[in-house]
Amino acid sequence: MNVIFLGPPGAGKGTQAQVICARLGIPQISTGDMLRAAIEAKSEIGLKAKTFMDAGQLVPDDVVIALVRERVAAADCVKGFLLDGFPRTVEQARALGSIAKIDRVINISVADDVLVKRLSGRRVCPVCGAPYHVDRLHGATQCTVDGVTLVQRDDDKPETVLNRLQVYHQKTAPLIDYYQKEGLLRTVDGSTGLESVSDAILKALEAAR
C-alpha cells in the first residue's frame, strides 16, 4: 500500500509514521529526514537545501522530486511506502502521480496554536530522527533507541515555526482539495492522544485495502 501523510508542521506525521510503518511493514520516506541527512553529509543537495530549511521555506520542487523518485524505486518499497512530508506543493503532487500510484492520503489535522506548542517543545534524536516532546520526557534527555542526547531542531525556533506554518497554509494546504477531488483523502483529528490518532489512521487505511 502506498500512503501519503499530509499535515502541517508538528501535526504528528513523523510520530505516527513510525507506528504505522512498523504495523504495515513498509518504509517511512521522510523528505525532511532525507534533506537533514544531506545537510549532515555536506552533499551538494544538502548545501542547496540548508538555506531554505533554516528559513522555514520549502526546498525547490525539482530537488525533492528527484530525491523521492530515486527513493521509491528502491527494493524495500516493493510492498509499498509511506511518504511523510511529500508532496508539499501541487507541482510535487503532479510529479508523484507520474512516479507511483497512491492508495490513500491521510490528512492529519491540528490547530495552529497547538502546533506552535508542540514544535517549541519537540526534541529529536540526531541519529534516528525519532521525535519526543519535553512534556513526556519527564526529565530524560536521551533517545530510548540510540541512547544519544536529544537535540532541538534548528527550524523549531519560534520565528521559523511561524514561517513554516505560513508556508504550509499557502503551498501545502491546497493539496487537501487536490486529493479530495481524487477520492483518496481521509482526514483524522491529530489533536487527540497518540494512540487514538494511530487507531484513526489504521481505520482509514483499512478502508482502502
* Residues known to be catalytic: 13, 88, 122, 153, 164
Residue 59 near ligand AP5 by CB under 6 A: yes
* Segment contacting ligand AP5 by CB under 6 A, of 12-20, 72-80, 181-189, 201-209: 12-20
Decide: is 102 part of the binding site for ligand AP5 (CB under 6 A).
Answer: no
Please compute Rg for the chain using Cα positions.
16
Would you state the cell numbers that stand for residue 18, as one nine-digit string?
513510525
Residue 71 or 104 with smaller CB distance to ligand AP5: 71
Among positions 85, 106, 150, 175, the unique one binding ligand AP5 when judged by CB under 6 A: 85
Tell me: does residue 21 bind ligand AP5 (CB under 6 A): no
User: Residue 64's closest CA among 172, 154, 173?
Assistant: 172
**x/- contact string, 186-205, with ligand AP5 (CB under 6 A)?**
----x--xx--x--------
52 is an interface residue for ligand AP5 by CB under 6 A: yes
Burial of 85 from C-beta contacts in 10 A (0-12 / 13-18 / 19+): buried
| Binding window for ligand AP5 (CB under 6 A); candidates: 21-29, 52-60, 99-107, 181-189 | 52-60
Binding of ligand AP5 by 20 (CB under 6 A)? no
CA distance 164 to 77: 29
Q: If binding means CB under 6 A, how many residues of this protein chain bind ligand AP5?
A: 34
Other CB atoms within a 10 A radius of the CB of residue 62 amount to 11
Binding status of residue 71 toward ligand AP5 by CB under 6 A = no
> d(Cα 71, Cα 63) in Å, to the nearest integer?
13
Q: Does 131 bind ligand AP5 (CB under 6 A)?
A: yes
- Which one of the spans 19-27, 56-64, 70-78, 177-185 is the region binding ligand AP5 (CB under 6 A)? 56-64
What gap in Å lies between CA 83 and CA 3, rounded to an integer?
Answer: 6
- Residue 3's DSSP bridge partners are 82, 104
H or E segment to which residue 5 belongs: strand 2-6
C-alpha grid cell, residue 52: 531554505
Contact 21, 129 (CB under 8 A): no
Q: Which stretch binds ligand AP5 (CB under 6 A): 10-18, 37-45, 142-150, 175-183?
A: 10-18
Alpha carbon distances (Å) from 192 to 44, 108, 121, 169, 200: 40, 11, 17, 21, 10
Positions in the binding site for ligand AP5 (CB under 6 A)? 7, 9-15, 30-32, 35, 52-53, 56-59, 64, 85-86, 88, 92, 118, 122, 131-133, 155, 164, 190, 193-194, 197
